[in-house]
Amino acid sequence: MKKKLLYIFVLLIFTMAGNLHAEDTLPSWNDGATKQSIITFVEEVTDKDSKSYVKSEERIAVFDNDGTLWAEKPIYFQLEFVKDRIKELAPSHPEWKTEQPFKAVLENDNKALAESGYEGLMKLLMATHSGMTQAEFQDIAEQWLDTAKHPRFNRPYNELVYQPMLELLAYLRANGFKTYIVSGGGIEFMRPWTEEVYGIPPEQVVGSSLKTEFEMRDGKPVLVRKGEIQFLDDKEVKPVLINSHIGRRPIAAFGNSDGDLQMLQWTAAGNGPSLMVLVHHTDAKREWAYDKDSHIGRLDKALTQANTDGWTVIDMKEDWKTVFPFQSQ
């Protein structure tokens, strides 16, 4: 009995403390240079005898969300959420019938919507989602996620996450990494579900935000979302918010578009070892294929620098056995 207990404790401690073997924890990744570059990096930074060893508290890994952890086609999922809200609120806003980007939403014109870009997205966000408290907004977002379905896959949006990236997040955490989201998406839009879906708690989610004010309503303090952008967490702003939220330079960064370039550059410029990874969407059959000509998730300059500097580029079609959890291998 005692021997058995001892065995369990020893097993437990080895499992918790040791490196989890990547072979067991990245089953949806095909063997090859991409998978190997990740495993080699993780093994080196966790090996106390390696000159690349990095203390656990400094093993910071940052992930873009749209197109890196979950899909972003035909349009950013947050924009689908906004569209649904716009349609709900449209009866009280007759002017939206002729005004972009509202018109595009009401007419389901995704091309015009995409062309309005992040600026357009933020306009829609502010027109529809400011004025309420942070708690009220999170309720609205959660309710939407519980009911809305993706147009192509007819599944809840948070099932459109990449199985290989879920495995990668777990693998990194099992090796002492702290995993963060650093996304152009809204911080309060993501926080209600990232812990359940990705295992990433609210305090490790960084994103775009509206100005927020502390107010007293009926004698109770509330945080009210104002109609003004605080941070648009894209491009040059990503390293700035990484610094303000985390205060440490990441040693690993994962993105998929030019919006992630500066985050990867910032990570690459550290003194120690670093891993820069791009998800290249090459799989029109299981997901989508797009890069430099896409309005959403444009990948051009970052791909060029990845090739020049030897960053890891995931070829979705070649490197991933499974894309979404619901697709069998």
Kindly indicate which of the ranges 21-29, 110-118, 164-172, 238-246 contains the residues binding a second copy, using the contact rule CB under 8 A. Answer: 238-246
- Residue 40 near a second copy by CB under 8 A: no
Helices marked H in the chain: 2-17, 22-25, 33-46, 77-89, 102-106, 110-129, 134-147, 163-174, 187-198, 237-246, 261-268, 301-309, 316-319
Kindly indicate which of the ranges 89-97, 161-169, 229-237, 272-280 contains the residues binding a second copy, using the contact rule CB under 8 A. Answer: 229-237
Kindly indicate which of the ranges 70-78, 80-88, 120-128, 264-272 contains the residues binding a second copy, using the contact rule CB under 8 A. Answer: 264-272
- Report DSSP state, residue 79: H
Quick one: CA torsion of 21, 27, 33, 34, rounded to 10 degrees? -100
- Residue 3 near a second copy by CB under 8 A: yes
Residue choice 25, 212, 289, 317 for contact with a second copy (CB under 8 A): 212
Kindly indicate which of the ranges 44-52, 71-79, 122-130, 262-270 contains the residues binding a second copy, using the contact rule CB under 8 A. Answer: 262-270
- Residue 191 near a second copy by CB under 8 A: yes
Q: Give rounded-to-5 percent helix, strand, coil for the chain.
A: 50, 20, 35
- Residue 17 near a second copy by CB under 8 A: no
Residue choice 50, 143, 243, 327 for contact with a second copy (CB under 8 A): 243
Distance from C-alpha of 29 to C-alpha of 313, rounded to nearest angstrom: 13
Residue choice 19, 37, 100, 134 for contact with a second copy (CB under 8 A): 134
- Residue 55 near a second copy by CB under 8 A: no
Q: 29: which strand partners? A: 320
Kindly indicate which of the ranges 23-31, 32-40, 86-94, 212-220 contains the residues binding a second copy, using the contact rule CB under 8 A. Answer: 212-220
Output phi, psi for 248, to 5 deg.
-135, 150
Q: Within a 10 A sphere around the Cβ of 261, how many other Cβ atoms?
A: 23
Residue choice 112, 223, 229, 289 for contact with a second copy (CB under 8 A): 223
Distance from C-alpha of 57 to C-alpha of 45, rounded to nearest angstrom: 12
Distance from C-alpha of 59 to C-alpha of 40, rounded to nearest angstrom: 15
Residue choice 144, 266, 288, 290 for contact with a second copy (CB under 8 A): 266
Distance from C-alpha of 108 to C-alpha of 85, rounded to nearest angstrom: 13
Give me the least distance between CB of 248 and a second copy, in Å please: 6
Calculate Rg over the CA atoms of the chain: 21
- Residue 228 near a second copy by CB under 8 A: no
Q: Which residues bind a second copy (CB under 8 A)?
A: 2-3, 5-6, 9-10, 13, 57, 134, 178, 187-188, 191, 201-203, 205, 209, 212-214, 220-221, 223, 230, 236-237, 239-240, 243-248, 262, 265-266, 269
